[in-house]
Each structure stands twice: as C-alpha cells, then as structure tokens.
Amino acid sequence: MISRIMKRFALSQEGAKGLVRAIAACTAADIVLMFPVGLLYFLVSDFMEGAVPENHYMFYGVGIVAALLLIFLSEFWKYNATYFSTYRESGACRIRLAEKLRRLPLSFFGKKDLADLTNTMLGDVATTEQMFSHYVPQFYGSIISTCLIAVSLLFYDWRLALAALWVLPVALLIVGLSKKAQNYFSRKQNMAQIAVQDGVQECLETVRDLKSNNAEKEYLDGLFKKIDNLESRHMKSELGIAMFVVPAQMIMKLGIATVALVGSMLLINSTLSLITFFMFMLVVSRIYEPMSFSLQNLAAMNSLKINIDRMNEIENFKEQDGKKEFKPKGYDITFENVGFAYNSDETVLKNVSFTAKQGEVTALIGPSGGGKSTAAKLAARFWDADIGTITIGGVDVRAVDPEQLLTAFSIVFQDVTLFNNTVMENIRIGRKNATDEEVMQAARFANCEEFVEKLPEKWNSNIGENGSSLSGGERQRISIARAFLKDAPIILLDEATASLDVENETAIQSALSRLIKDKTVLLIAHRMRTVSGADKVVVLSDGTVAEQGQPSNLLEQNGIYSKMVKLQTESQRWTIG
C-alpha cells in the first residue's frame, strides 16, 4: 500500500507513512466529534422519561470532560499528523527534486522551460503541500469515518440510515465525474501562469534592451494581456469547480429533508420511537459537515494529478550514471565517429573524429553553428553522443559518473555565471577547500587583482546578482580564476577571452601558458590570433571535421582556416569613413 501511495502522490516512503497517519488522525477526529451527540441523546432520553436520575449527573459530568479531552487530543494528533508531517515532506520533496535535477543530463533542461521548472519546484510543491495539509487526509478521513458511522446507523435503524446516506454516493459521483473538466481548467490555468512567469522573467532580463530600443510599452502591453488571461483562467477554473461542487452540496442537504420525511411517516405509523428519530436528526446534522467540506477537497484533488505528473516527470527522468572511479591512462581526448543531435530532426555533429592530446592546445574553430561548443560539452558529458565514442585516456566517458568525470575538467564558458556573493567566494567555487591565499594567487594569474583592489571591500566585496557590479571583462576574469584554482588535468575554454581587451587577453594567455603544462586544453575561439598559438586546429563546419592539423600547415592548404585568417586580417584594417 505504501508503495502505491508513493507513486500516486509523488511522496517519499516517510511521506506516504505520514499520509496514512494523517488519514487515521482525521478519521479519529471526525468520530470523536460524534461523542457529544451521543451524550445529548442520552440526556434527552432521561428528560423524556421524566427526570434525570441523580446517579446520571456524574455520568454526564465525566462524559463532558472526557469528550472535551478526547476532542482536544484528537485535534492535537490531527494537527501534528497533517501540518507538521506535510511541511517536513514538502521540504524533503524540494530537496529531492533539486538533487534529481543535479543528476539529470543537460538534454533535459534543453527541452524544459526555466519558468516551468521553477514553477514545479516552487508552485507545484506548494500546491501539493496545501493539498496534503488541508485536503487529502481530511477527505479520506471523512470517507472512512462516514462509512463507520453509516454501518452503525444501518444496524440501529436501516430505514432512516438509507434516508440519511443515499445522498452521499450521489454527491461524490457528481464531483468525481467532473475530474476531466477540472483537469482541463487546471491545465489551461497552469499554461497561463507559466506564460506570465516567462514574460516577467524575460522582461527583467531584457529591460536594458527594451529601454534602448523604446520597446517597453509594446512589450508591457503583451505582458499585461498575459496577466489578464491568467486572471480570466483563474475565474474560469473556480467557476468550473463550482459548477459541480455546489449542486453536489445542494443534493447532500436533501438528506436532512429525507430523514425528516421518512422519520415523520414512521412516527405516524408508530414504527419509530421519538427518541430514535431525534437521534437520527442530530447525527445527520453532524455527518454531512465533514463530507460537505470534503466535496470541495475532492474538486481540488481532481486537479492535483497535473501537479503530481509534473513532479513525477522530473523524478522518473533517466539519470546519467556510471562508475564512481575514473582512472584514465593519461588525458588524451579522442572522438571516434561521433554523431549527435539535440532533436531527432536537428543533426549537429556527423562522423566527427579527432584527438586532443595531453600537453597540447587543441583549438576548435569554424563557422557559427558548426558544432564547436557541442563537441567540447560532449567531452565533458554534458550530453551523451548518439553515435560513436568519446574517450579520455582510453576510458569511455559514458561509463563514468558525470560528477566524477567533471573533477578532471576546468571549464570557462563564454556565458559567465556568477553568484550574489563576494569576489573571494565566487572564485572559491573552483575548489571549496582552497585557502584565501590560494584563491588570491589564482586571481592574480587571471589578472583579477587589478580591479579587485579598487572595489570598496576588495576581496570581500559583494559583486551583486550574476556580477552585476562588474564589467563583462571583469566577470570573465573571475571565471578564468576559478579554472586556475581548480587546476584540473583538462581545461575547456569556450571563448574564454572573448570579453577581454587586447592587453588583458595577452596577459591571461601568458598565465594560461603556465597553467596548461602537461594538461589537455580544448580551446574554442573565433579570434585567429588566439588560435595561432595552438598545437592543433580542428575546423568544424556543418557538423563535420572539414580540416585538422597544425596552424601553419592549414594556412598553406588555402582552406576554411586560411580563409578565416585572411578575413580577420582584413577586418582589422577596416576604418570608418
């Protein structure tokens, strides 16, 4: 049962056990609330017989105290079992999803929208948290408690029991049949919400470009339409739920009328005692209360499947796995007939073969979209090749755990990612146990000291979200400092000096020459002056290896490399006017 609950509600084993305890607590709380009804029944019986016997006063006094104590204990248990247990599971769920995302290949993120993933991590988990603290246990608890009370009523008087209970399955059936419609409304509402989140995020990220192009008003008009659509979807969703819940609740109220009608007929025929009739009227006034609330819960629970399916999509996505040990014989990177496509109809690499040797700089160049960055990222196993093999020191990268494999890589991307923290801690990402002196030494290699010393708090200066207080070149140098600090045997540089001026680029290239000794360097660059010092050049064009060899030899072949060098040489002579 626990495993079925885990799968059905995307819960951990402890979360599933907690849900069972919460249902039991809600059931007990509903049943305990019937105790005062029983006391009132006995009290009315005594009054109808003429007077309350003196020895019954003690019974009623103790009964009232016991009922209050039981209600307190059951509500206390219910509160702890529903809220506290759910909040613990909610926190564990977010951590579990985050850990799962950490182990997923980048191919997963390429197919998912960032706002959609954020909505799953925050919105869907928050929705399920509310469901499991306020709705799900109470719904199942009310069902179980109502069934237990119904059985006792059937034994007491089956005629009035049927008159009281016939409305329950009808009401549940009406709300249950609304599941398809509610899922439709929930999906539309969710899509509208993601569209708004996408729009807001895009607006914040591109506000500079919008302002510079006087496009703010036009963009905001489109965003306001998305917000209006979300508001409309919320109202339609609520109306869609009300269309089923309100009729179901109205039908349930008929139970009181049918008990009164049937009871009156039985009283007239003298086949029912007045006290029994009174007792049934008391019970039906109480039995419908949790069920009425549960009908609203059921309507909300019907839409819960969409949130759970989105969470399960992350949980069930196949992880990249492999051996935890990585012991290559050297660090030569070899591509053998590698083919890769992000989508089935979008081939990026075809039959790519080359070797980047340890102790050498191998430059990947070629026209934009030729597959340079893709090839480098396949080597680091950000994705897995569809065809062929990529080996490091003779070890197939697909056989190695991605996190273990990446310990052999120092990577500098063209798009730098920095954190809202100090300069020191941003560089220390390269090696978390590095001393302050080691961090500063790596920063000096990357020419960071020049601008860091000018900051208000120097190395302890906070650089803002994604390094917003720094220039593009300064951000790039911090990223390069991380690579220096990590000091891994393989260095992957994807346009690492693209944001640097000539002076800093020369200085960093000089520092790189010290760093790359006895290491495998895979360099992606468009500047031919950066490539000219490489030991080997691999030209990728249209996803295939068009040329490869030493720069001097490729110049003589008068091919793509030679043409790119000539074009850049001519562009450097270009002047305005």
Q: Find the helix or strand (DSSP H, E) in which 539 lies.
A: strand 536-541
At 345, the pLDDT band (50, 70, 90 cuts) reads low
* pLDDT classification of 576: cutoffs 50, 70, 90: low
Q: Rounded mean pLDDT of 99-107?
A: 77
Q: Which residues pair with 349 in a beta bridge?
A: 340
pLDDT range class, residue 52, cuts 50, 70, 90: low
The residue length of the chain stands at 577
Per DSSP, the residues of 360-399 read: SEEEEE-STTSSHHHHHHHHTTSS--SEEEEEETTEEGGG
Query: β-strand 544-549 against 536-541: which pairing, if any?
Result: antiparallel
Q: What is the pLDDT of residue 572?
A: 55
**How many angstroms separate the CA atoms of 107 and 42, rounded?**
69
3-state class (DSSP) for residue 109: helix
Q: Following DSSP, what letter does each residue of 290-320 receive, concatenated?
A: HHHHHHHHHHHHHTHHHHHHHHHHHHHSPPP
pLDDT category at 344 given cuts 50, 70, 90 is: low
Position with higher pLDDT, 222 vs 57: 222
Single-letter amino acid code for the residue at 201: Q
pLDDT at 94: 83
The token duo for 321 is 């796995």
For residues 320 and 383, the model is more confident at 383
CA 408/CA 489 separation, integer angstroms: 6
Q: Which domains does the chain have, with CATH numbers?
A: 2-316 (1.20.1560.10), 328-408+489-577 (3.40.50.300), 416-487 (3.40.50.300)
Residues 18, 183, 10: CA angle, nearest 5 degrees: 25
Instruction: Give percent above pLDDT 70 in the chain.
Output: 89
Distance CA 385, CA 283 (A): 68
Alpha-helical segments (H) within 465-527: 472-486, 502-515
pLDDT of res. 520: 87
pLDDT for 492 equals 86
pLDDT confidence tier of residue 268, bands split at 50, 70 and 90: confident
pLDDT band for 571, please (50, 70, 90 cuts).
low
pTM comes to 0.65
Percent of the chain beyond pLDDT 90?
0
Q: Which of 457, 467, 376 is nearest to 421 (CA)?
A: 467
pLDDT in tens, 130-145: 777 777 888 888 888 8
The span from the CA of 381 to the CA of 2, in Å, is 36
Question: Which tens digits make up the pLDDT trace of 505-553?
Answer: 666 666 667 667 778 888 887 766 667 777 888 888 888 888 888 877 8
Higher pLDDT, 428 or 270: 428
Q: Which alpha helices (DSSP H) does 112-178 contain, by range?
A: 114-118, 125-130, 136-156, 158-165, 167-176
Residue pLDDT, tens place only, 184-227: 777 787 778 778 877 877 777 777 777 777 777 788 888 888 88
Each residue of 364-408: pLDDT tens digit?
A: 887 777 778 888 888 888 888 888 888 888 888 888 888 888 888
Backbone torsions φ then ψ of 402, nearest 5 degrees: -55, -40
